Amino acid sequence: MIDSYSFGSITVDGEKFTRDVIIGKAGVLSPWWRREGHSLGPEDLKSVLASTPEVLVIGTGSLGVMKVPDGTLEFLRSRDIEPRAMRTGRAVEEFNNLLNERGPDRVMAALHLTC
């Protein structure tokens, strides 16, 4: 469960992180780096693919600067993972709601915490 989020900071189950994160049933991966910084590619999601969630909530940053190309969305769908990309503040709400509805085995989040 995500306790709180503000620009550059997120608290998950009482632990604070100040670098981008991937959240799943195995815990939190941080720092999470992308090969192209503000663009999300399939190669940036290895830990997500290993866990095979039903839904991946993608936080594109406070202002939505991180781009999620159509090819990445199609890549996820081809692996039966439903991508939901939105600004990180909204993504936090979406993740927590889905976590309550579907459980930790079915939902993951990949969140850009700044811009």
| pLDDT tens, position by position, 26-62 | 999 999 999 999 999 999 999 999 999 999 999 999 9
What does the pLDDT read at residue 44? 97
pTM assigned to the model: 0.97
Residues 6+ apart with CB under 8 A from 36: none
What does the pLDDT read at residue 89? 98
Write out the residue range of the structural domain in which residue 8 sits. Answer: 2-111
What does the pLDDT read at residue 27? 95
CATH assignment of the domain containing 15: 3.40.1230.10
For the stretch 5-28, pLDDT in tens is 999 999 999 999 999 999 999 999
Q: How confident is the model at residue 82 (pLDDT cuts 50, 70, 90)?
A: very high
With beta carbons less than 8 A apart as the criterion, state whether 109 and 59 touch.
Answer: yes
Say how far apart CA 55 and CA 82 lie, in whole Å: 5
Task: Give how many domains the chain has, as a whole number.
Answer: 1
